[in-house]
Amino acid sequence: MQQKAIYLVTVSVFFCICLPLFLPSLSLAGEPIRIGVYLPMTGPVAAFGQMEWAGIQAAHQMHPTVLGRPVELVLVDEKSDRIEAANAVSRLLKKEKVKAIIGSATSSNTMAGVALSEKAKIPMVSPTATLPLVTQNKKYVFRVCFIDSFQGEAAAIFAYRNLKARRVAVIVDRAQDYCVGLASYFKKAFTRLGGKVVSIAYCQTGDQDFSAQLTSIPASQSDLLYLPNYYAEDALIARQAQELGLNIPILSADGAQAPELIKIGGTAVEGLYLLAHFAPEGAATPLAKEFMKFFKKTRHEETSGFHALGADAYFVLLDAIKRAGRTDGDAIRTALASTMGFSGVSGVIKIGPDGNAVKSAVILQVSGGQFRYLTIVKPW
Amino acid sequence: MDLSLFLQQLLNGISLGSLYALIAIGYTMVYGIIRLINFAHGDILMISTYFAYFGISVYALPWWLSVIMAILLTALFGILIDLGAYRPVRHAPRISALITAIGVSFLLENLGIVVFGGRPRAFYRPDFLNKTYEMLGVHIFSLSIWVPVVTALLLALVFLLLYRTRVGAAMRAVAKDMEMVQLMGIDVNRVISLTFAVGSALAAAGGIMWAMKYPQINPLMGIIPGLKAFVAAVIGGIGNIHGAVLGGLLLGITEILLVAFLPSLAGYRDAFAFILLILILLFKPTGLAGKDTIG
């Protein structure tokens, strides 16, 4: 009896000592690599978050493993809110212990998240934060989209040369760094070309009434309305411009490319031009063709710009982890900073040490309730 | 600023202000009768627009039928909220009811996100409301005419209900002295349920007009209209029905003129409304139209 007890104790003690030694080898074989995702799934810019999440999920279904280990995605909703974005990143870092983060969709909220991931030395890849400030003096944040200094200039050139605009009115959402930044890049470039920004009016995210801002536009005799805002505001501005009998062309930016723009804008957005990241007609890489087919098959809708960039954020991050061969933050960061000509869904992506991608943009026009591809603008 | 431009801005202001007024009527009426600031008023408004949306876009009912259904369903919904949330704290201190109302507001918003999804939906606008007329260089959008008309009509109906019907008399009596009314053998809970039904129906009318004018709806759309209507009600004197209309018009017109004359401040128009609220509370807490509460 006693012997049996001693024997049992010895065996169990032996196991307790050995177990931790076995654990790493057991888990390393198949322990998932956790990647955090924080996106606006609700709130004013929910369309971006939901489209990017769909793109990320489809990309994950296509390539669910890296380094022979499964990838596990952890999604936190940042509710289109800066404070919630910081909370989301803090949760991903502390509670979920993720190795890398994808997010967020808008510039202001990405900046709120970056402050924390930078300190934790966890790399972050944003699908669509286009404001140059997002990556400035930051070591661990990257993006797979073009930046607004390029976008603003491209819009100005298109407005001046193709639309023959000379006097432009702008309505800007003051609550978003993206909108304010883009408006100033556009103004700088447009003035340099010889045009004039004749009126700038402001609004706030979530505003519904723009009649006061629009009423003062005809007096300025502008021949183009530039709206560097998100889709909900732009759709309502376009509608109210139509109601007030303001018949000048509208040029918008990548933040307007959501189905809601057309659903809410109706006939008022017919003929609206916008600069965007991606058009199925312009997709050229093998991955793009493969992804678009897969997306159509699994989700029953066409790939849009935000689907493509969500997918690209995932693919680029996965590619970096593969090249790093390890999952510590610094190794992934170094690999991300040397992304040379990765053939993504939205085109060939080259990311420099500054964290920014150099890419071309496309010009789309709304016609017949669809975004139609007009032309491509290459970076200079 | 020339005359036609000024007139246009004034019209913009009246059109926005009458929407605020329309929403504020229901807000202030409920307060006047049971002394409860129903912070969920804006969210009831949001729910009503979804009722109408589902009627029109999902079940493909005729437009007018959907609107009537939405108003009736919202009235029922208001009664249910009263039953579930407010009746249990009827005799608790007033602050408990206020906190409950804030809770109901958050519940409805998040329920909306779960049930309807967070992305905005386009709200249908019938063709006869889509016309724009031009007079003296002023563009008059047909909805801008309809909203003040509907507001005036509903205001008249509320007064008729309160001062020309037995139920209205009971409501005014409850506003005066709830316990006394109970002793007289009147079913106070029924009167209050009816008050909520009418208040919610008014919220629905306001919400549907709001969604017609700004044709996108989302689960958080009720917050700003609700707060603005609350500010309008306080400006006019909370509990005072014609004061609420006055406050709404005043708020709408000053907001628009602020943006028109000081375009650089346009991003701060909501802040302006709340500064106005603080000033009113500091210097004239009973509101402009004074304490002429229901009764």
Closest residue in A to B217 (Cα) is A264
What's the pLDDT score for residue A16?
Answer: 47
CA A200 to CA A228: how far, in whole Å?
Answer: 12
What's the pLDDT score for residue A201?
Answer: 92
- Residue B135 contacts A where some CB pair is shorter than 8 Å: no
Predicted confidence (pLDDT) per residue in B249-290, tens digit: 999 999 999 988 887 777 788 888 899 999 999 998 888 887
Look up residue A292 and give its amino acid: M
Per-residue pLDDT of chain A (380 residues; tens, 9 = 90+): 556 556 555 545 555 454 444 444 444 457 999 999 999 998 889 999 999 999 999 999 999 999 999 999 999 999 999 999 999 999 999 999 999 999 899 999 999 999 999 999 999 999 999 999 999 999 999 999 999 999 999 999 999 999 999 999 999 999 999 999 999 999 999 999 999 999 999 999 889 999 999 998 988 899 999 999 999 999 999 999 999 989 999 999 999 999 999 999 999 999 999 999 999 888 889 999 999 999 999 999 999 999 999 999 999 999 999 999 999 999 999 999 999 989 999 999 999 889 999 888 999 999 999 999 999 888 86
Q: SS3 of B104, please?
A: helix
Predicted confidence (pLDDT) per residue in B35-56, tens digit: 899 999 999 999 999 999 999 9
Q: Determine what percent of chain A is predicted with pLDDT higher than 90.
A: 82
Pick from A212, A219, A236: CB nearest B259: A212
What's the pLDDT score for residue B136?
Answer: 78
Beta carbons of A264 and B215 less than 8 Å apart: yes
Where do the DSSP E strands lie in chain B? Answer: 121-122, 132-135, 138-141, 216-217
Distance from CA of A147 to the nearest CA of B (A): 25
Convert A60-88 to b/e letters by CB count within 10 Å (16 or more is b): bebeeebeebebebbbbbbbbbbebbbbb
CA A176 to CA A188: how far, in whole Å?
Answer: 19
What predicted TM-score, i.e. pTM, was given to this entire model?
0.88
Q: Return the structure tokens found at B45.
A: 């408004």
What's the pLDDT score for residue A18?
Answer: 46
On chain A, the residues whose CB falls within 8 A of the CB of B119 are 46-47, 50, 260
- Residue A220 contacts B where some CB pair is shorter than 8 Å: no
- Residue B139 contacts A where some CB pair is shorter than 8 Å: yes
DSSP assignment letter at A138: -
Distance from CA of B63 to the nearest CA of A (A): 17
Closest residue in A to B265 (Cα) is A202
Q: Return the structure tokens found at A309.
A: 């960039």
Distance from CA of B220 to the nearest CA of A (A): 7
∠ Cα A227 B271 A43 (to 5°): 55
What's the pLDDT score for residue A331?
Answer: 96
User: A69-77 and A124-126 as β-strands: parallel, antiparallel, unpaired?
Assistant: unpaired
- Residue A175 contacts B where some CB pair is shorter than 8 Å: yes
Beta carbons of A211 and B139 less than 8 Å apart: no
- Residue B142 contacts A where some CB pair is shorter than 8 Å: no
Beta carbons of B134 and A203 less than 8 Å apart: no
Residue B239 pLDDT level (bands cut at 50, 70, 90): confident
Q: What is the torsional sign of CA B280, B282, B286, B288?
A: negative
Distance from CA of B48 to the nearest CA of A (A): 18
Pick from A201, A263, A266: CB nearest B266: A201
Distance from CA of A233 to the nearest CA of B (A): 10
